[in-house]
């Protein structure tokens, strides 16, 4: 009889290996840099990931349900990768590399883009501003829902492609930000009170200043309950939005709403993410490269289960 370890597909084994490697790097950086860590919260996450992986492998090995097995396994791996990569992102601070925002401001100016002006426009379009707020906040839940839908509908090719693309794109984005950090347009502007009250940006100038402070001083306490996105360039919200839409293309009832919502994400990352305009094409480029790498990987391996 095959052991449970033989029931990981190549894409799942890839995500597991990347996540485990990042987790080891996290531990090493914590030991070297010495920040306090919320061990209870990370322990809870580790227990959840372990429970989902055991559940998924149990359903596969017992033959009870391959779809439930795929859903539990992919969910566990997605949570694992997200937790260790977000922690790694914070552990890249303090970061002595100069920010690239001044270059991005020059690109914005060349394209006629001005962040305060964009927020002023959003303040005069309250209904669309709320649609942008919803769309911006929906990117991670969209990926989570898509994992469930693709698993339960047995679209394994799309499920595994989604997993690899997110992992490749996420790793590229975090590593690029570590080498060439940026805080986004919101970190360098103040806005009139009436604009702030009308727009209520999800990521505001105060948080931009927090990112600059993290780049200078790092974080003395790390908890999954406190970590937020740091990456400005490339926009990871754009990466997730395009990824979700692309891998929902074969689910007819889901593709149309995803397409509409994620088209709204394009201006939403400017208003509610405080991004430079250049962050959008950069996010598109990261997705394209990650999807290309995914297609190469899929061509070179079968979908037969392999040993992890």
pLDDT in tens, 219-232: 989 999 888 888 99
Number of domains in the chain: 1
pLDDT bin (cut points 50, 70, 90) of residue 285 is very high
Does residue 149 sit within a domain?
A: yes
CA dihedral 42, 47, 50, 52 (to 10 degrees): -110
Greater confidence, 1 or 175? 175
Query: Length of the chain, please?
Result: 308
Does residue 72 sit within a domain?
A: yes
Please choose, from the candidates 35, 34, 42, 32, the residue with its C-alpha nearest in 3D space to the C-alpha of residue 82. 42
Does residue 284 sit within a domain?
A: yes
C-beta of residue 243 within 8 angstroms of C-beta of residue 166:
yes
In which domain, by residue range, is 203 found? 4-300
C-beta of residue 304 within 8 angstroms of C-beta of residue 5:
no
Does residue 306 sit within a domain?
A: no
Does residue 216 sit within a domain?
A: yes
C-alpha 82/C-alpha 84 separation (Å) is: 6
Does residue 307 sit within a domain?
A: no
DSSP character for 98? P
Greater confidence, 96 or 6? 96
Residue 217's pLDDT is what? 93
3-state secondary structure of 104: helix
Confidence check: pLDDT of 3 > 90:
no
Say what the pTM is: 0.90
pLDDT bin (cut points 50, 70, 90) of residue 215 is very high
Does residue 305 sit within a domain?
A: no
Does residue 32 sit within a domain?
A: yes
């Amino acid at each position: 009889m095959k052991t449970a370890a033989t029931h990981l597909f190549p894409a799942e084994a890839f995500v597991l290996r990347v996540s485990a490697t990042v987790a080891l790097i996290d531990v090493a950086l914590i030991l070297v840099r010495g920040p306090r860590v919320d061990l209870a919260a990370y322990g809870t996450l580790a227990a959840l990931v372990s429970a989902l992986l055991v559940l998924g492998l149990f359903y596969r090995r017992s033959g009870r349900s391959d779809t439930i097995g795929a859903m539990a396994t992919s969910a566990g791996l997605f949570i694992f990768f997200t937790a260790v990569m977000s922690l790694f992102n914070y552990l890249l601070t303090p970061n002595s590399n100069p920010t690239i925002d001044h270059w991005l401001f020059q690109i914005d100016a060349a394209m006629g883009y001005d962040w305060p002006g964009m927020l002023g426009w959003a303040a005069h379009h309250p209904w669309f501003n709320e649609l942008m707020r919803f769309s911006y906040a929906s990117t991670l839940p969209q990926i989570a829902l898509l994992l469930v839908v693709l698993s339960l509908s047995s679209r394994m090719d799309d499920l595994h492609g989604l997993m690899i693309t997110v992992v490749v794109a996420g790793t590229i984005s975090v590593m690029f930000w570590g080498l060439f950090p940026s805080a986004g347009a919101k970190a360098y502007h103040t806005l009139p009170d009436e604009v702030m009250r009308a727009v209520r940006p999800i990521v505001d100038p105060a948080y931009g200043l927090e990112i600059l402070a993290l780049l200078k001083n790092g974080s003395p306490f790390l908890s999954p309950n406190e970590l937020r996105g740091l990456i400005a360039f490339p926009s990871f919200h754009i990466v997730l939005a395009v990824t979700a839409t692309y891998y929902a293309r074969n689910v007819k009832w889901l593709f149309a709403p995803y397409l509409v919502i994620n088209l709204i994400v394009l201006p939403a990352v400017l208003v509610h993410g405080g991004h430079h305009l250049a962050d959008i094409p950069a996010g598109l480029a990261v997705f394209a490269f990650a999807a290309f790498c995914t297609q190469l990987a899929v061509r070179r391996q079968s979908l037969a289960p392999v040993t992890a």
